[in-house]
């Protein structure tokens, strides 16, 4: 039995599965389970069975890479029949993260014991799926329908202490003594001659909700916005309704039907693509896995403004002391005040304690002047986006920072090589481009300069995870990856309204595609003073600002807003748009269809993505997907622009780009890589 071992200790059969990295329930693991349970079922010296995993975690679910392929036997159901319906008590001994099919397997056991550091959960919704191993039928029987809706539609893991409270586990083991305590637990079950408690037989938590349609209707209403565009949540709700209304076996059949609808859906294929894409970004092909990362024990941040403060919080959250530098005491106090307020707001929501707030605040070392950064392992500057200022700062850092310190710029578009050029240590310089709000957005673009050393890159890719970020490596170009490709989306949005399509029509098309908000509502939210200027040429945004329309925060922008911030199309904005169009001599083409708007704005992104890939700015197409999903909330159930392009079909996109080029010119000239792939049956996913 390759994936595990079996042994017997004082009448307790112990099945230990060991299939790195996360004991996913691959066919090999299922066979090992099937074989070992059959053996122990027949072994008279065995009175009870403990199921435990070696390595970093209990089963972390089905093997996601097996989905979309024909499922090999035995399936999870076969293993279940031996475990749940056997004559001997089975105890799941949980450490790490018992997730998805892994936790469903634990629910098929008669009892569950876990170490305090463990977590259990059913995160399938994040893969566009539902728990297809009985989780939607068994969990409601333990926690009730209402709690099951939150746990399964939410998809977040539940820490052991909370799981015990909810009944998701039956006991806590001592940390580090899981097997010992699981065996003792098994003996107690035998000594007390406790019945074989099958979760499937419990009705006390589901019967009270029979006929309670309002419970589900209310849940749908309350979560409509978060569930919009996703297919899986509605199927999960239906499965839990079945758990309440139907006998167990009928519920299991219903669950399988609902699972089947999802596993072959484009949404789930996209979300599974994203699962692996997010884990692929940290792998840099030309960087040997043995490249030693530099130890980052202390950090420095220059600038305590919105970005600097947010960046600093990431390090504080990871327990790394930060020297926070500002030019004036007033600016320093203001910056630190904002950080404290952010933490206190989080504490008010119960997501951290007052002690944790103080503990993080004590890690800040305020400083007036760069000299305080001499000992920092890593310094990130977040000063004004002007090359001369950046060069001045890096010149000074070069003079005072210790040798081997990493010097990073948070610039969102300036040339990292030019900045590195003012130092004597360009190998220690790179870009670390955070997205606003920097303490929330998970994307971190790591910008590799021409001379940045492998050690510095390896360090950045590794510690990104330490501070809760997903690193995407980019070479130097204007706007790097996310801003560059999404810049085309904004450019086409600005162009199409000058040709007579209303901002509201553009926003509706983009909203219906799946973004939380279209480009013009987004601009009004962020503020035209933030996103408005930046061009000396006459623009609609510039004119709106000169009419003192800054967006939601002042006098409206592309829209007018009522006291509840409800947007209505603005006649003033429409007049300004028509005026600028006339001034630029742009022909009015009338209101475009949603399909045309989508092609215009999103195919422009795909085309630019193909250029970014062709130029080697991005390592792989899926990195562009991750950057757009995490940096610009591109809807994850499309898989991101490049994955979506493959699903639309590259020949179709190429043909449309050529049509658009014929009308709108150079901006739509198909990228060579896209043309090549379209003409050779290639795809971005297959590289
Ligand atoms: N299948 C296949 N590979 C997996 C995997 C899985 N379930 N989970 C992780 N990996 C790989 C991952 O790609 C990476 O590979 C390595 O393991 C380490 O992962 C019937 C339908 C467990 C919390 O959704 O959330 O069960 O990049 O980098 O940060 O109802 O992995 O090294 O080559 O993420 O320590 C439900 C998914 C499946 C859990 C560990 N389960 N995994 O996090 O490591 S659907 C999940 C995670 C299901 C049933 C259904 C996390 C983790 P590589 P990592 P980590």
CB burial string 238-261: b at 16+ within 10 A, e below? bbbbbbbbbebeebbebbeebbeb
CA 284 / ligand 1 centre spacing (Å): 20
64 Cβ closer than 6 Å to some ligand 1 atom: yes
19 Cβ closer than 6 Å to some ligand 1 atom: no
At 553 the pLDDT is 87
At 535 the pLDDT is 58
Mutate to test the pocket of ligand 1, among 96, 101, 157, 279 (most ligand atoms within 8 A of CB): 279
HSE, side-chain direction, 13 A CA sphere, residue 427: 5
Q: Does residue 530 have a pLDDT over 90?
A: no
Closest CA to ligand 1's atom 49: 101
pLDDT tens sequence across 406-448 = 999 999 999 999 999 999 999 999 999 999 999 999 999 999 9
Closest CA to ligand 1's atom 28: 279
445 Cβ closer than 6 Å to some ligand 1 atom: no
Give the nearest ligand 1 atom to 280 CA.
27
Tokens of 175: 């940390």
Tokens of 295: 């130890």
Among 386, 414, 533, residue whose Cα is nearest residue 480? 414
pLDDT-derived band at 534 (thresholds 50, 70, 90) equals low
Is 0.85 surpassed by the pTM of this model? yes
At 1 the pLDDT is 57
Mutate to test the pocket of ligand 1, among 3, 19, 20, 21 (most ligand atoms within 8 A of CB): 21
Mutate to test the pocket of ligand 1, among 23, 27, 30, 60 (most ligand atoms within 8 A of CB): 60
Q: Does residue 531 have a pLDDT over 80?
A: no
User: E strand or H helix at 416, and its extent?
Assistant: helix 416-420
Closest CA to ligand 1's atom 25: 60
Among 272, 267, 273, 278, residue whose Cα is nearest residue 228? 267
127 Cβ closer than 6 Å to some ligand 1 atom: yes
CA 155 / ligand 1 centre spacing (Å): 14
At 304 the pLDDT is 96
Residue ranges in 202-291 assigned as alpha helix (H): 213-227, 232-245, 248-263, 266-280
21 Cβ closer than 6 Å to some ligand 1 atom: yes
What are the distances in angstroms from CA 508 to CA 505, 514, 561, 567, 597? 5, 10, 17, 12, 10
pLDDT tens sequence across 246-269 = 999 999 999 999 999 999 999 999
pLDDT-derived band at 532 (thresholds 50, 70, 90) equals low
What is the CA angle 72-61-80, rounded to 5? 60
pLDDT-derived band at 686 (thresholds 50, 70, 90) equals confident
CA 280 / ligand 1 centre spacing (Å): 12
101 Cβ closer than 6 Å to some ligand 1 atom: yes
For residues 602 and 492, what is the distance between their CA atoms, to the nearest angstrom? 9
What are the distances in angstroms from CA 113 to CA 40, 156, 169, 186? 20, 20, 6, 10
pLDDT tens sequence across 122-149 = 999 999 999 999 999 999 999 999 999 9
Active site residues: 104, 124
62 Cβ closer than 6 Å to some ligand 1 atom: yes
507 Cβ closer than 6 Å to some ligand 1 atom: no
For residues 626 and 617, what is the distance between their CA atoms, to the nearest angstrom? 14
128 Cβ closer than 6 Å to some ligand 1 atom: no
Give the nearest ligand 1 atom to 104 CA.
30
Q: Taking all residues of the chain, what is their mean pLDDT, rounded to a whole number?
A: 96
Closest CA to ligand 1's atom 54: 279
130 Cβ closer than 6 Å to some ligand 1 atom: no
CA 567 / ligand 1 centre spacing (Å): 41
Instruction: Answer whether 112's CB lies under 8 Å from 239's CB.
Output: no
* Distant-in-sequence, close-in-space partners of 492: CB < 8 Å, separation ≥ 6: 600, 601, 604, 667
């Amino acid at each position: 039995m390759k994936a595990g071992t079996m042994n017997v200790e004082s009448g307790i059969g112990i099945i230990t599965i060991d299939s790195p990295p996360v004991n996913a329930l691959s066919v090999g693991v299922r066979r090992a389970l099937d074989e070992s349970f059959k053996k122990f079922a027949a072994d008279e010296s065995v009175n009870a069975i403990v199921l435990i995993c070696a390595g970093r975690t209990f089963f972390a679910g089905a093997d996601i890479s097996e989905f979309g392929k024909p499922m090999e036997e035995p399936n999870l159901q076969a293993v279940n029949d031996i475990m749940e319906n056997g004559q001997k008590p089975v105890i799941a001994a949980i450490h790490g993260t018992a997730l998805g099919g892994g936790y469903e397997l634990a629910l098929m056991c008669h009892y569950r014991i876990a170490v305090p550091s463990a977590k259990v959960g059913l995160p399938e919704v994040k893969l566009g799926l539902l728990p297809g191993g009985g989780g939607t039928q068994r969990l409601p029987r333990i926690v009730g329908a209402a709690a099951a809706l939150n746990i399964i539609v939410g998809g977040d893991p539940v820490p052991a202490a909370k799981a015990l409270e909810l009944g998701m586990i039956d006991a806590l083991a001592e940390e580090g003594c899981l097997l010992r305590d699981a065996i003792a637990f098994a003996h107690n079950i035998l000594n007390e001659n406790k019945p074989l408690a099958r979760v499937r037989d419990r009705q006390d938590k589901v019967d009270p909700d029979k006929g309670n349609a309002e419970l589900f209707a209310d849940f749908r209403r309350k979560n409509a916005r978060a569930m919009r565009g996703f297919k899986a949540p509605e199927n999960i709700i239906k499965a839990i309704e079945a758990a309440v209304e139907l006998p167990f076996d009928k519920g299991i059949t219903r669950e399988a039907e609902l699972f089947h609808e999802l596993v072959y859906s484009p949404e789930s294929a996209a979300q599974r693509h994203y699962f692996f894409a997010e884990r692929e970004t940290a792998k840099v092909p030309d960087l040997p896995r043995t490249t030693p990362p530099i130890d980052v024990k202390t950090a420095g941040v220059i600038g305590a403004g919105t970005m600097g403060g947010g960046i600093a919080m990431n390090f504080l959250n990871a327990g790394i002391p930060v020297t926070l530098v500002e030019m004036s005491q007033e600016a320093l106090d203001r910056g630190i005040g904002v950080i404290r307020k952010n933490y206190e707001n989080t504490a008010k929501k119960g997501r951290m304690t007052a002690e944790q707030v103080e503990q993080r605040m004590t890690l800040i070392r305020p400083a007036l002047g760069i000299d305080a950064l001499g000992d920092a392992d890593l310094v990130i500057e977040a000063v004004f986006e002007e090359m001369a200022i950046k060069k001045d700062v890096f010149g000074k850092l070069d003079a005072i920072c210790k040798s081997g310190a990493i010097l990073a710029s948070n610039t969102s578009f300036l040339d990292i090589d030019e900045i590195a050029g003012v130092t004597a240590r360009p190998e220690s310089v790179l870009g670390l481009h955070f997205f606003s709000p920097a303490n929330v957005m998970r994307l971190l673009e790591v910008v590799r300069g021409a001379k940045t050393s492998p050690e510095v890159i390896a360090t950045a890719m590794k510690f990104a995870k330490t501070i809760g970020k997903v690193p995407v490596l980019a070479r130097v170009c204007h706007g790097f990856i996310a801003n560059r490709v999404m810049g085309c989306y904004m450019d086409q949005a600005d162009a199409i309204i000058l040709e007579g399509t209303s901002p509201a029509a553009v926003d509706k098309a983009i909203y219906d595609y799946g973004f939380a908000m279209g480009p013009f509502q987004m601009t009004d939210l962020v503020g035209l003073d933030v996103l408005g200027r930046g061009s000396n040429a006459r623009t609609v945004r510039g004119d709106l600002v000169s009419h003192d329309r800054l967006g939601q925060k002042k006098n409206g922008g592309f829209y007018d807003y009522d006291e509840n911030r409800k947007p209505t199309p603005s006649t003033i904005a429409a007049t300004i748009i028509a005026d600028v169009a006339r001034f630029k001599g742009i022909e009015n083409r009338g209101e475009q269809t949603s399909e045309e708007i989508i092609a215009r704005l999103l195919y422009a992104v795909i085309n630019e993505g193909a250029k970014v890939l062709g130029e080697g700015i991005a390592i792989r197409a899926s990195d562009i997907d991750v950057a757009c999903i995490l940096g610009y909330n591109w809807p994850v159930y499309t898989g991101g622009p490049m994955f979506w392009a493959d699903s639309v079909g590259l020949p179709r996109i190429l043909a449309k780009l050529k049509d658009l080029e014929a009308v709108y010119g150079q901006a739509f000239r198909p990228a060579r890589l896209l043309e090549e792939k379209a003409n050779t049956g290639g795809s971005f996913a297959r590289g």
